Amino acid sequence: FWIENTTPVAYRPIVRAAILQWNKAFEGAGFKDAIHVEEMPDSATWDPSDLRYNVVRWVSSAQPPYGAIGQYTTNPRTGQILGADVTIEWFTGSAAPVLEELLTGAHTGPAAHNLAETAGSNYALCSLADELKAQFVAGGTALEAAGGGAEELSRLHRQFLTYLVMHELGHTFGLNHNMKGSQLWSPAQLNDTALTHQWGLLGSVMDYPAVNIARDPKKQGDYYTTKEGPYDDWAIAFGYTSYADSVAEAAGTAALLARSTDPKLAFGNDADDMRSPGKGMDPRANVDDLSSDAVGYAAERLQLLRSLLPGLVQRYSKPGQSWAELRVRYAALQGQRQQMIGAVSRYVGGVYVDRSFPDQHSATRPFTPVPLALQKRAVSVLNKYVFAPDAWLADTALLPYLQPQRRGFNQNPYGDDYKATSAALAQQYNGALAHLLHPATLQRLTNSRLYGNRYSVADLFTDLESGIFAADLNGAVNVYRQNLQTEYTRLLLEIVADRYSQYDAVAGAAALDAVQRIRSRQAAAPAPDAETRAHRNNLVYLIKKALETK
């Protein structure tokens, strides 16, 4: 591979080391020093797009269609890879945080990485770089807010760029995404560098992981993996090992395939992942999560974010500068919040998938419902950090300062103020409710009860009602909760109406029972102020009107 001469000089050693790291995987396939790295000289007469040269390119585009991409050209007759390139955009690979609003006037958050709209077109799309950059900015913000110094921020970027290059190189070697790679270690093991330096932080560099930030900076391990994982070594050995003859090849590949039940080799690609509401079924195959206890890890991250928010104003109040960076840093942490919410919600109605063949004698069945305790724990985390009356309390101190920088005439026609209640409801809906109340999720909750699931749709609605309504049933309801309670009630009424015949009878009956409960309790609940009284009356009215219409 050649490192293009447009690559910043300071980053070239990082890129070189990341490329050469793959040699360890190829050693397992029988190739010593399979990959060599050279720097493209400024005097070169060849073009980086020349197929004869495998190049890691560094570009800066006005409107980049991707953050980084690894592509290859194959022989159409044999399928063999003839040449490959990795292209990295400056805005992704650099250590500078991208102030999206300064550059474009808009913030592209986690919703931009929702693949639902690409269904039926190209699930091979690699949006890692954009997601990774968002994770990097969030990680850097968390480090700075916690008092991290320049040296630690530099380490974060080195590991970030190493991981980015290794991931895209993996594509050039023919590797698919592996969204189960982040499940390798428990939360306690993630910061044990004795483990992560031997095996990697992930089972595969082909995952889209959350950045690893320890709540206690003194216990911080690696932020990103800096080596290939066990799955990557195994896949490279399968794809590249040479054999003396067909008999040896059959025996060798059979031996490799027999290892597929090893937990370190867990695999799930884009077709399996649950990044979009209702998509997929195995919550371990997901993006923006981390550890074998993704629910516990997410809860810890949500608590960390809550503790960091109050200090952002002081940290990003800079003489001679606008408040734009504060707004973008806050948006980065909001992205982390939504990603953690999404990771947690997928365990409700989830089913673990094992694709082992019968003769492999796997310890698990092809389909195993997520245990009852874990599903209830997931809802409990959502109730505490997403739906509770104080879930957005820590954000309050920032709201008067979240002013974007005005450039030209691209400002919001409805005002520059941060729409806090709308943003909170969007996270509650997009991260949690859209999936929890999705027809596929509710149907799977019911169907999986036939083979072991012990958590019913009625149980889910009861637990959600407790988290969304109980805390303020006898007191004032704040504006966040008014929006949430109204939205949840409307969603239940949509299930009852079922205009598009998406929901089964079990979900419809449970939803009807839930809204009738809500109506009776809201009608009888006290209202200490006019706003709460109006809110309760509105809920009763919405339910009465919808049920009468039906």
pLDDT at 118: 34
For residues 549 and 445, state if they share a domain: no
pLDDT at 106: 40
Q: Report whether 455 contacts 372 (CB < 8 A).
A: yes
Number of domains in the chain: 2
For residues 198 and 320, state if they share a domain: yes
Report the alpha-carbon angle 116-331-182, nearest 5: 55
Residue 145 within a domain: yes
Residue 117 within a domain: no
For residues 356 and 254, state if they share a domain: yes
pLDDT at 429: 97
Mean pLDDT, rounded, of the chain:
92
pLDDT at 284: 98
Neighbours of 102 (CB within 10 A): 15
Q: Which bin fits 288, alpha (ψ -120 to 50), beta or left (φ > 0)?
A: left
pLDDT at 148: 85
**Boundary of a domain, candidates 420, 455, 490:** 455
For residues 425 and 496, state if they share a domain: no
83-137 confidence digits (pLDDT tens) = 999 999 988 888 877 654 434 444 434 333 333 333 333 334 455 667 778 888 8
For residues 447 and 515, state if they share a domain: no
SS3 state of residue 214: coil
Tokens of 376: 């209830």
Residues spanned by the domain of 82: 2-108+125-455
Residues lower than pLDDT 70 in the chain: 98-129, 410, 550
Q: What is the pTM of this model?
A: 0.93
Sign of torsion over alpha carbons 176, 179, 183, 185: positive
pLDDT at 124: 43
**Boundary of a domain, candidates 455, 489, 510:** 455
